[in-house]
Amino acid sequence: MDKEVQRLVEMGATTARARAALKKYKDVMQAAERIFEGEFDNVEDEPDQSQSSSTNRVELEDTEMEDGAEDSEVEDDEGSFVDYDSSDEGGIPGDATAAKVNDPYAGIFFSKDRREEVIEVEEEPVFISVPGIDDEVELLTQGRWMAGCPEGSEQNFLFELYSELSGLSGGCPCPSGCGHKVERKHSDFFAIYPDFVPYVEQLRKIVSQTCTRCRTEFCFACGEKFSPGANGSNLLWHCGNLQGVILGVGLYMVERLFEQQKENSETKDTTEREAKRRRTRDADANDGSSFRLGGSKKSKGGIGYAGELKEDNSGQAEAQALQLEKDEAIRALLAQIRIYLPNLQRPGGGLTSDYLPHPSSLTHLRRRFNLITSELLRNDSLADMSDRHGLYFELLQWLETIASHESLCSMMPMPIMRNISQQNVVKKTNASTIRERKIIYEGSASPRELLETIALQAQAALKGLESSKPPEDPSSELSEEQKRKTLDDPKGKSKEDNNLSGSIIDEATKLSTFCKRLVGTCVQIDKSLRELKGDAFVTRMHESLPKAFTSASDNVYVEAGGTDEEAKEAYMKWALSSRFEYCDLTITGTENADETLNYKHYFNNEVRMLANANIPKRSVAIAKELAILTTNLPVAWDSSIFLRVDETRVDVIKCLITGPEGTPYHNGCFLFDIFLGANYNQSPPNVKYMTTNGGKFRFNPNLYADGKVCLSLLGTWAGPGWVPFKSTLLQVLISIQSMILCEEPFLNEPGWATQANTPQSKAYSANVRRMVVRTAMLDALKNPPEPFGEVIRTHFRLKARAVEKQLDTWLKEDDGRHLASDGGEYANVGGRNNTGSSSNGLQADIDAMKKLLKEL
C-alpha cells in the first residue's frame, strides 16, 4: 500500500488523505478523484506531513536551518527552494553567530551534485470549444501543470492552486458571507488559447464577479472583495492566485512553443541528413573511379591529400531567416508574459501581486523558464547570440526582473534541474490503463553561472573590438525597444551604409552593443543580489562561477593528490582555469625609433607593420574569435590546448598543445606562434610550429623542421580550405591536435597513406617518440618556452606518475634505431633492430626526464 500512498502524494495529496482514500477506495485513480473532489478535506494532516519523504521531495530538517533564523524569513525568501548545508565541511566556520550576522545566508550552497527521480502521470489531453476560437483548445491537465522536478512542498502549492481554480475544491463563495457561490469551470483559468493575449482577455472578462444576492464585487481567483475604486486595468494584478495561474499557463505556452520548434528542427535535420546520405550513395554507385580497399570497408589512412573539396553553403540565409522568425515568436510571447512577473520597479509603482507573489510563481519560473534559459544560454556562439539579439535581449530583461525581487532572486544561483533521462511506463488495472513517466533530473549550471560563461566571451569580444573604435553604446539611456532598434538599425540605414566598410562598422556596433548589454545584465543581477542577500552571499556565489584568468599571477597551486583519480580531477580543475590567459608578449626595452614595440613571436615583423592599423572587418572577426576561444578550448587529461594572448595586441597569440593519448606525441608539449593578419578572417591565420629542436626535427609529414604547418584550412595542404567569415582559429587548433598529432603520423604523407601498421609506419612512430621525449618533454621542462613555463611545469607535475609509466612503456616498445631528424628515412627499411637497446640515447633521456619529474 505504501507505493499507492506515494503515488497519491506525488499527485499532490497529503499522506493522511492518501491513506484515508485508499482505505475506502482500493483503486488509486478513483481515490485520487475523490481526494481532488474534496471528500477527504476534513482529514487532518499527520505531524510533519509537509516534510514527508518521497522520491520527488527534498527534506528540510529544522537542524539544517540557520540558528536564530525566523521561519517567515526562510520560507518567504528561500522557502523550500534551497538546500542548507549542515555538514562540518560546508558549515559556518568559527563563531556561527558572528558569521550569521555578516552573512545570514551562509548555509546556502550552490552544489550541482544532486539527482532526483520523479514519477509523473501522463494524462490524455482534453480539448474543448470556446467562443470566438475556431479550433478546439487544450485544457491544461493537472499532470502538465505540476510537471517538473519539485523542491520541498512545491507540489502542495501547485495542487492547492490548481484544485481551487479548476473547480475541484468547489465554487468561489461570496466574501460577504451571504452564502452564494460562483461555480468555477476548468476552462475558466486553464484553457490553452492559441495565443497569450486572448487568454488574458478571457481572464479580464471573468475576474470581476458580482454576487447575485448581495451585489458584492469580488475577485473570481481569490474570492476577496475588490477595494473601492479598483482600477479595471489593474484587475489582473489583484492577487497572487491570478499571478500564479497567469505565469503558469503562460510559461507552459512558451515551453510548448519552444519544444515544438526544437522538434521541427530535429526532424528537418534528420530528413536532410538522410537525403544527403542517399545522394552520397548514389554518387558513389555511379562514379566509376571510386574504389574501396578490402571490400566495402574503407581502410585506415592518414589525412593525405583529400582533393579539392568544397563545402556547400547554400541555404544559410534561408535557415537564418527561419531561425529569426522562430525567435520572434518566442520573444513576443515572453514579452507579453513578462508584464505579469512580480516587479516592484513597475512603472507607476508595485501592485498587490508584486508584493505578495504566489509560491507557484517561483515554482513555474524555476521549472519552465529556467529550462528555456538553460537551452538558450548554452549556445556557445556569442556571434549567433548577437545575430539573434531580439530574443536574447528579452531573456536578459527577464533575468534582471527576476533578480530584482526578493522572493525570486534565489533562482539566479540555484542549479537548474535538467531532465537527463525518461522512461515511459504503462500500468494496467481492472478499471483503467495508467501511463507514467519516470524521469531522472540532475543538477546543472545555474542561470547566473550560464550567464557568466557568456559574459566572459563578451568581455573578450569587447577587448578584440577596441581597435575598431565602435561608437559608444547608448543602451544605458534607452528603453528595451530602443536598444533592439539600435541593434537592428544602428546607423539609420543611410545610403553610405550600403558599402562594405559601413556594414562592417555596423556589425562592430551591433556586437559591441550586445556585449555591453550582456555584461551589464551580470552587473545588475549582482547588484540586486547584493542589496537583497548581502555582500558575503554574492562573494560566495562568485567563487562558484567559471573564471577566465587574465594573468599568470592569478593561477592557484593545485595539489596532484594521492591517487590517479585525484590527479585527473586536479588536472581538469587546473586546465579549465588556465587554458586561456592574457599576458605581456612584448620584449621590454626594444622599442624602435618609431616607438613600435617588438614581440617574443615568430611573426614579430608582421605584427609591427600593423601596429597602428584600424581595420574594422578584422577587428570584428578577432572579437568573435576571442569570444569562442575564451570558454571553448578543449581541455582533458588526455590532451589539452592552452592559449596566451597579448593583453594589448589580441592578434598576437601563442598556443601550446599537449599530445593526445594513444599517439607517439602523448604528453609532449608542442608550441605554435599564431598571428591574425591584415586580411583575417577572409584569409586563414598565420601559424608557425616552434617545437623543432632548433629547426632540426620534423615530427610529422605535416610539421616541417622549419616550422611550416601543412593543413588544408591554412591553405598549405590539399583538401577543404578556409571559408571566409565561417572558419575559425579553434578549428585550426583542433585539426592540428586530432589530425596531425595522430596515432600513425607516417600515414599523413600522401604516398604512404595506405601503409597502416607496416614496419615502416611503426619505425616512424618509434622515432617520433624519441624526438618527443628529447624535445617536447625533456627540453620543454628544462627550458620552458615563454609564456608557458608554469603551464608546462604544472602539466608534468600533475601527470608525473602517469608520464613515468608511459616512458617505461615507450622504452620497452623502442626498436633501438638511431634517432633521425626526419623519420622518413625509415620508409624503405623493414624489420626491427636491437629491441630495447639504449644506444640511441632514449634511456638517458628518460632517466633525465624521470629525475626532473621527481624534483617537481
- The pLDDT of 705-727, averaged and rounded, is 90
Taking residue 172's Cβ as centre, other Cβ atoms within 10 Å add up to 21
- The pLDDT of 519-541, averaged and rounded, is 92
Boundary residue ending a domain (522, 543, 564): 543
Residue for grid cell 577587428: 619
Percent of the chain whose pLDDT exceeds 90? 47
543-547, 596-600, 836-840 — which is least confidently predicted?
A: 836-840
Q: Give the pLDDT score at 832.
A: 46
Q: For the chain, how far is it from start to end, CA to CA, in angstroms? A: 62
Q: Give the pLDDT score at 52.
A: 35
Q: Which residues contact residue 772 at a Cβ distance below 8 angstroms, ignoring those fewer than 6 apart?
A: 659, 664, 665, 666, 668, 699
pLDDT band at 530 (very low <50, low <70, confident <90, very high): very high
Q: Give the pLDDT score at 426.
A: 83
Q: Give the pLDDT score at 47.
A: 47
Model confidence at 373: pLDDT above 90 = yes
Contact 436, 6 (CB under 8 A): no
- The pLDDT of 271-289, averaged and rounded, is 56
Give which of 571, 684, 583, 576 is closest to 634, Cα–Cα: 576
Model confidence at 528: pLDDT above 60 = yes
Contact 774, 841 (CB under 8 A): yes
pLDDT band at 166 (very low <50, low <70, confident <90, very high): very high
Q: Give the pLDDT score at 837.
A: 45
* In a domain? residue 4: no
Q: How far apart are CA 243 and CA 298, in angstroms?
A: 62
Angle between helices 789-798 and 842-855 (to 10 degrees): 90
Model confidence at 765: pLDDT above 50 = yes
Percent of the chain whose pLDDT exceeds 70? 75
Report field, pTM of the whole predicted structure over 0.85: no
Contact 132, 197 (CB under 8 A): no
Give which of 237, 530, 188 is closest to 358, Cα–Cα: 237
Q: How far apart are CA 382 and CA 622, in angstroms?
A: 12
Instruction: Report which DSSP code applies to 78.
Output: T
> ∠ CA 126-132-138 to the nearest 5 degrees?
15
pLDDT band at 436 (very low <50, low <70, confident <90, very high): confident
Instruction: Report which DSSP code applies to 505.
Output: H
Q: What is the mean pLDDT of the chain?
A: 80
Model confidence at 644: pLDDT above 60 = yes
Boundary residue ending a domain (496, 520, 543): 543
- Regarding whether 532 and 656 lie in a shared domain, the answer is no
Q: Which residue has the higher pLDDT, 226 or 216?
A: 216
Position 430, amino acid: N
Q: How far apart are CA 761 and CA 744, in angstroms?
A: 7
Contact 675, 722 (CB under 8 A): no
Q: Give the pLDDT score at 10.
A: 58
Q: Give the pLDDT score at 840.
A: 82
Q: Which residues contact residue 563 at a Cβ distance below 8 angstroms, ignoring those fewer than 6 apart?
A: none
Position 802, amino acid: A
Boundary residue ending a domain (521, 543, 565): 543
471-474 long-range contacts, CB within 8 A, separation 24+: 471/509, 473/512, 473/513, 473/516, 473/517, 474/513
- Regarding whether 605 and 459 lie in a shared domain, the answer is no
pLDDT band at 133 (very low <50, low <70, confident <90, very high): confident
- Regarding whether 786 and 724 lie in a shared domain, the answer is yes
- Regarding whether 571 and 497 lie in a shared domain, the answer is no
Q: How far apart are CA 22 and CA 32, in angstroms?
A: 9
Write out the DSSP string of 801-852: HHHHHHHHHHHHH---PPPPSBGGGGTT--S--STT--TTSHHHHHHHHHHH
Q: How many helices (H) and strands (E) does the chain have?
A: 29, 15
222 carries an active-site annotation:
no
- Regarding whether 473 and 363 lie in a shared domain, the answer is yes
C-alpha distance from residue 532 to each of 407, 408, 557, 658, 800 (Å): 10, 11, 34, 46, 47
Q: Give the pLDDT score at 123.
A: 84
Contact 104, 82 (CB under 8 A): no
Query: What are residue 182's DSSP bridge partners?
Result: 172
- Regarding whether 539 and 685 lie in a shared domain, the answer is no
- At 172 the three-state DSSP class reads strand
* In a domain? residue 82: no
pLDDT tens digits, 191-221:
999 999 999 999 999 999 999 999 999 999 9
- In three-state form (DSSP H/G/I as H, E/B as E, the rest C), the secondary structure along 9-31 is HHHCCCHHHHHHHHHHCCCHHHH
- Regarding whether 530 and 498 lie in a shared domain, the answer is yes
Contact 437, 422 (CB under 8 A): yes
Q: Give the pLDDT score at 836.
A: 44
Pairing of strands 433-444, 416-428: antiparallel
- The pLDDT of 39-49, averaged and rounded, is 62
Which three cell numbers, joined as nine digits, stand for 650? Answer: 589580441
* In a domain? residue 89: no
Please state whether the peptide bond connecting residue 724 to the residue before it is cis, i.e. omega within 30 degrees of 0. no
Give which of 29, 36, 57 is closest to 119, Cα–Cα: 57
* In a domain? residue 563: yes
> ∠ CA 424-427-429 to the nearest 5 degrees?
165
Give which of 57, 62, 90, 88 is closest to 75, Cα–Cα: 62
Which three cell numbers, joined as nine digits, stand for 445? Answer: 549550471
The CATH number given to whatever domain includes residue 814 is: 3.10.110.10
pLDDT band at 100 (very low <50, low <70, confident <90, very high): very low
Give which of 75, 58, 73 is closest to 104, Cα–Cα: 73
* CA contacts within 13 A on the Cβ side of 596: 11
Q: Which residue has the higher pLDDT, 504 or 650?
A: 650
Q: How far apart are CA 630 and CA 728, in angstroms?
A: 13
Give which of 440, 504, 375 is closest to 55, Cα–Cα: 440
- Regarding whether 742 and 791 lie in a shared domain, the answer is yes
C-alpha distance from residue 372 to each of 153, 244, 250, 377 (Å): 23, 19, 13, 9
Q: Give the pLDDT score at 72.
A: 34
pLDDT band at 326 (very low <50, low <70, confident <90, very high): very high
- The pLDDT of 712-740, averaged and rounded, is 91
Residue 672 belongs to domain spanning: 552-855
Q: How far apart are CA 794 and CA 678, in angstroms?
A: 35
- Regarding whether 559 and 539 lie in a shared domain, the answer is no
pLDDT tens digits, 237-272:
889 999 999 999 999 999 999 888 887 776 766 666
* In a domain? residue 18: no
Q: How far apart are CA 641 and CA 633, in angstroms?
A: 6
Which three cell numbers, joined as nine digits, stand for 595? Answer: 616607438
Into how many domains does the chain fold? 2
Instruction: Report which DSSP code applies to 450.
Output: H
Angle between helices 447-465 and 616-632 (to 10 degrees): 150
68-77, 159-168, 629-638 — which is least confidently predicted?
A: 68-77
188-192, 457-461, 482-486 — which is least confidently predicted?
A: 482-486
Model confidence at 706: pLDDT above 60 = yes
Instruction: Report which DSSP code applies to 449.
Output: H
Most confident of 273-282, 463-472, 711-720: 711-720
- At 426 the three-state DSSP class reads strand
Which three cell numbers, joined as nine digits, stand for 201? Answer: 482577455
C-alpha distance from residue 416 to each of 64, 149, 420, 754 (Å): 22, 10, 12, 50
262-266, 321-325, 800-804 — which is least confidently predicted?
A: 262-266
- Regarding whether 791 and 734 lie in a shared domain, the answer is yes
Q: Give the pLDDT score at 91.
A: 35
64-68, 123-127, 193-197, 643-647 — which is least confidently predicted?
A: 64-68
C-alpha distance from residue 74 to each of 81, 100, 286, 547 (Å): 10, 13, 72, 31
Kindly provide the residue ranges of all beta strands, DSSP E only, lying in 508-592, ordered along the sequence: 580-583
Q: What is the dihedral of CA 337, 339, 345, 346, to 10 degrees?
A: 180
Query: What are residue 208's DSSP bridge partners?
Result: 219
- Regarding whether 679 and 730 lie in a shared domain, the answer is yes
* In a domain? residue 560: yes
Which three cell numbers, joined as nine digits, stand for 50? Answer: 509537509
pLDDT band at 12 (very low <50, low <70, confident <90, very high): low
Q: Is the dihedral of CA 723, 729, 730, 731 positive or negative?
A: positive
Q: Which residues contact residue 225 at a Cβ distance below 8 angstroms, ignoring those fewer than 6 apart?
A: 175, 176, 216, 217, 218, 219
- The pLDDT of 346-353, averaged and rounded, is 86
How would you label 72-92 residue by residue, b for 16+ Cβ within 10 Å and e otherwise?
eebeebbbbbbbbeeeeeeeb
Which three cell numbers, joined as nine digits, stand for 200? Answer: 488574458
Q: How far apart are CA 71 and CA 28, in angstroms?
A: 35
- The pLDDT of 2-14, averaged and rounded, is 68
Which three cell numbers, joined as nine digits, stand for 685? Answer: 591565420
Model confidence at 289: pLDDT above 60 = no
- The pLDDT of 654-661, averaged and rounded, is 97
* In a domain? residue 811: yes
Model confidence at 729: pLDDT above 50 = yes
Question: Which residue is catalytic, options 174, 219, 239, 710?
Answer: 710
- Regarding whether 529 and 564 lie in a shared domain, the answer is no
* In a domain? residue 175: no
Environment class of 639 (CB within 10 Å of its CB; exposed 0-12, middle 13-18, buried 19+): buried
Instruction: Report which DSSP code applies to 698.
Output: B
C-alpha distance from residue 837 to each of 812, 813, 841 (Å): 9, 10, 9
Q: Is the dihedral of CA 470, 471, 474, 480 positive or negative?
A: negative
Q: How far apart are CA 17 and CA 229, in angstroms?
A: 42
Q: Which residues contact residue 651 at a Cβ distance below 8 angstroms, ignoring those fewer than 6 apart?
A: 607, 610, 618, 622, 675, 676, 677, 680
- The pLDDT of 314-342, averaged and rounded, is 89
Model confidence at 306: pLDDT above 50 = no
